[in-house]
Amino acid sequence: MHDLTGFQRDLLYVIAGRDDPHGLAIKEELEDYYEKEIHHGRLYPNLDTLVDKGLVEKGQKDRRTNVYRVTRRGDREIEARREWEAQYVDGE
């Protein structure tokens, strides 16, 4: 996960926290967090990067809607990140 941007990491966390979210649901969640509009030209290429890195799977809900889910590798990366953060944030 060390090679992800902060935005990509946030995408991964949002996907992990939802049941098979579609792109627009992910976009809305991040817009609430960032308090600004997230353009499709930023969102979808970064989602594709997570797919290419094997952290996220992309499936189809219907002909027009893709859904995303975190892979086992993605789950392991999130857990490793939490452990790394905990040594600094939790004061371990």
Cα separations (Å) of 53 from 8, 31, 92? 11, 24, 30
Q: What is the pLDDT of residues 14-67, one digit of tens each?
A: 999 999 899 999 999 999 999 999 999 999 999 999 999 999 999 998 888 899
Say if 49 falls within a structural domain: yes
What pLDDT is recorded for position 92? 52
Whether residue 1 lies inside any domain: the answer is no
Number of domains in the chain: 1
Domain that holds residue 17: 6-89
Contact predicate 43/27, CB 8 Å: yes
Residue 41 lies in a domain: yes
- Looking at residue 85, which CATH number applies to its domain? 1.10.10.10
